[in-house]
Amino acid sequence: MDTLERLKKVFKSVKPNVNTDNITDQTLLMQDLGVDSLSMILLALAIEKEFDFRFDTVEPFKTVGEVVAYIESKTK
């Protein structure tokens, strides 16, 4: 399973009402997925657990692709 597919699984666990079928690298976190500050914290914690790393900094991620790139930079 690639990073994007694993990330979709994380999104679904944190925001069960989100349709993950249409998520792509260009999907906007706030506008398309309704991610707010609380959701971002919950997502960060779930991402850290799923991918076994810790965020160094709070990045202002705008798209799913930016999150995927960050995860891949930390896990490779």
Per-residue confidence (pLDDT) for residue 60, from 0 to 100: 85
The candidate with the shortest Cα–Cα distance to 43, out of 14, 69, 18, is: 14
pLDDT band at 76 (very low <50, low <70, confident <90, very high): confident
pLDDT digits (tens, 9 = 90+) for 27-75: 999 999 999 989 999 999 999 999 999 988 767 899 999 999 999 999 9
Per-residue confidence (pLDDT) for residue 57, from 0 to 100: 75
Per-residue confidence (pLDDT) for residue 1, from 0 to 100: 78
Cβ within 8 Å of residue 68, ≥6 positions away: 3, 4, 7, 25
Domains of the chain: 3-75 (1.10.1200.10)
Supply the DSSP symbol for 22.
G
pLDDT band at 17 (very low <50, low <70, confident <90, very high): very high
